[in-house]
């Protein structure tokens, strides 16, 4: 007879029906791996942006530069990661979630002025339990 302390999660909930790993999400494009640039910005852990956060704050084409204002994805990504890193370094309360904001030109085909946008950073376990960072829009999670 098993005691409560010797019960496994499978004993309590049953076998896993389905799982979706971080690696699969990156392969599928649900997450965009930005670890290399994040390391340059000071991050020690692997980092990714959700596709929605990427599209809203980073994605930029030559067509966008022609119809709006000249920018590039590398610069926009740097802005996101720099502000995320700054928010981490200046946080006054511990936790695994952190909100931060930055100014970016919206990708709407006509804007040339920047607007403030809020993002959320979550630190959590990766596929093997290692620490990872994910940056997303406030309504994602």
Q: Is 125 part of a structural domain of the chain?
A: yes
Torsion of the alpha carbons at 24, 26, 31 and 34, rounded to the nearest 10: 150
Number of domains the chain contains: 1
Is the pTM for the entire model greater than 0.85? Answer: yes
Q: Is residue 103 part of a domain?
A: yes
pLDDT tier at 114, thresholds 50, 70, 90: very high
Tell me if 75 is assigned to some domain.
yes
Q: Which two tokens stand for residue 18?
A: 């389905």
| Strand bridging mode 97-104 / 47-50 | unpaired
The answer to whether residue 129 sits within a structural domain is: yes
Q: Between residues 12 and 96, which one has the greater pLDDT?
A: 96
Strands 131-136 and 115-125: antiparallel
* Domain membership of residue 39 as a residue range: 17-136
For residue 43, is it within any domain? yes
Q: Count Cβ atoms below 10 Å from residue 80 Cβ, excluding itself.
A: 27
79 found inside a domain: yes
Residue-wise pLDDT tens digits, 54-79 = 999 999 999 999 999 999 999 999 99
Residue 121 lies in a domain: yes
Is residue 128 in some structural domain? yes
Per the listing, tokens 């530069």 go with 65
């Amino acid at each position: 007879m098993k005691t409560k302390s010797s019960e496994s999660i499978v004993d309590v909930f049953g076998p896993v029906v389905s799982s979706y790993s971080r690696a699969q999400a990156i392969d599928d494009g649900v997450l965009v791996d930005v670890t290399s640039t994040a390391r340059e910005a000071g991050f020690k852990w692997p980092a990714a942006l959700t596709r929605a956060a990427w599209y809203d704050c980073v994605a930029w084409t030559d067509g966008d530069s022609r119809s709006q204002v000249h920018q590039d994805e590398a610069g926009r990504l740097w802005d996101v990661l720099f502000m995320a890193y700054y928010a981490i370094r200046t946080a006054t309360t511990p936790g695994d979630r952190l909100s931060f904001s930055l100014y970016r030109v919206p990708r709407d085909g006509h804007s040339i002025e920047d607007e403030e946008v809020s993002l959320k950073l979550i630190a959590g376990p990766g596929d093997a339990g290692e620490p990872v960072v994910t940056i997303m829009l406030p309504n994602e999670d």
